[in-house]
Chains A and B, each alone.
Chain A
Amino acid sequence: MLRIFRAVPLADKVLFFFMLTASLSGIFVVREALPQAADVIVEVDGRPVRTAPLSVDGTMAFNGDCGEIQVEIKNSRVRVSEAHCPNKLCVQQGWVSRGVIVCLPNNVVVFIGGRGTGTKKGLDAVTG
């Protein structure tokens, strides 16, 4: 084994090492550049209470400030299917595949596909 190693020209060893590093660093590059595996994170009163994969259909119920709030996952999309807040803006928002659903009266936030807000079009924030 050692003899074979010695027989390999130095340039080849360097090349081998280089290619190994390049391919390994590729893993990190991909991990950084691509979004994390799509998850649904539900926060109540600012604390994460449940993380569920977006790929698995189902419903979850949480106790918000205005009573029970129901979150449904179906076909990689999420909606608030039931809430007892006065305006039900969260229910009206309907199905969301990426971004956030906020129910302010309930103090419940549902993040879809990561914890960030998923701001659009390269924007860091929106005013208005």
Chain B
Amino acid sequence: MNRLDEIQRAFQSRGGTSFLLGLLLLAVIPSCGDSGRHTYQKSRAMMDTFVTMTVISESRQQSETAIQAAFNSIEEFGCLINFFSATSELSQINKNAGVREVRVSPAAFDLIEKALYVADKSAGAFDPTIGPVMRLWDFHNGVRPPDADIKKNLPLVNYRDVVINKKNSGVFLRKKGMLLDLGGIAKGYAADLAVGALKQHGITAGIVAVGGDVRTFGLRADGTAWNVGIKNPRQTGAKDEIMGTIRLTDKAISTSGDYERYFISDGRRFHHILDPQTGYPSDRARSVSIIARDGVFTDGFDTAVFVLGPRRGLDLIKEINRDFEVDAIIIDVNGVIYETDRVKETIKDAKNL
């Protein structure tokens, strides 16, 4: 009884009140803090793929303006480098192959310059002039082109025949019939552009996925790094869709796989990642993921390493690691996993790759 009186008195006194008020504030303040940083997400079909932007922001208004600006930047860029649109700058370059130099916008020029850097570093394992051979293949309808056609078009595939002029943003393809195809690198670049636009609008954390090309910056609302799943190249159902996850911040990741677009003919898998040396699908790997700061390089080098295979691919990674930090996760054609030191043991579900 005494004790109860004491408690009651304590509560009635000022000390008790402020104790309770303090408790109340403690209960309310953290929840305010949490609700301050919200996660906003929007998706759209663009550049022949599905683009999802997730941003952390304290204001819905800010996030919506920023996401819209980022979508716009991808849309504008997509128009410049669309291989199938007759009016794109890329088509202008291709139409004028062997004829004259074409001046292009800064973004298109920047991308072409970077594509040539990847081509040069990989000695043509990634080649943006793959167009004349790529167009022969129809992966949707599973049509294999005649060998003679591939042989005939192969001499047109050579990145060394692309002449760029930095002074006037000019691009010239030396041989008539050459076709620049930036599909193997453009989505990563689009992710870079989108992140740039988001940052310009004051967003400090987010993740942009242009199809499978993902770029992250800052941290999630819970203060941890972004969690990106890597697809299993030999998925059998919903359970084994993801073979591993990786935590990233201020890094991009891209994956090339033989399972994205392919057909099976005579028991052989024909997929869309062609070896520019042969004009046929490269058969050294099933899946290659590259992790680096810029999406344009993860996207370009995943194709290069895929074509080179694990041994020469890892040599290339080692070499470009001198220029910037880069990592690789490779599943070779037999399902064997190769991972660089910083991403060791990312792949957990290794039973059926």
Contacts and interface: CB of A to CB of B under 8 A. Distances in A.
Interface of A: 9-11, 14-15, 17-18, 21-22, 25, 28-29, 32, 43, 46, 86-87, 100, 102-104, 107-109, 111, 115-117, 120-128
B254 A127 contact: yes
Given A108-B45, A123-B229, A128-B212, A14 B255 contact: no
Contacts of A10: 11-12, 16-17
Nearest to B220: A124
B43 A125 contact: no
B50 A127 contact: no
Interface string B39-72: 0011111101110101000000000000000010
Contact of A126 (B8, B71, B242): B242
Contacts of A11: 8, 11-12, 16-17, 20
Interface of B: 8, 11-12, 16-17, 20-21, 23-24, 27-28, 31, 35, 41-46, 48-50, 52, 54, 71, 75, 140, 207, 209, 212-214, 216, 220, 226-231, 233, 241-242, 245, 253-255, 257, 260, 287, 289
Contacts of A15: 20
B19 to A, nearest CB: 9
9 contacts: A11-B16, A32-B35, A46-B75, A104-B50, A109-B43, A116-B54, A124-B207, A127-B229, A127-B289
B12 A121 contact: no
Contacts of A29: 31
Query: Which 9 A-B pairs give the minimum distances between C-beta atoms?
Result: A128-B231, A11-B11, A128-B255, A116-B41, A125-B209, A123-B229, A127-B255, A126-B229, A125-B214
A127 B212 contact: yes
B228 A124 contact: yes
Contacts of A43: 44-45
B31 A117 contact: no
Given A9-B8, A21-B24, A128-B255, A104 B49 contact: yes
A104 B78 CA distance: 14
A17 B54 CA distance: 37
A51 B203 CA distance: 28
A14 B13 CA distance: 12
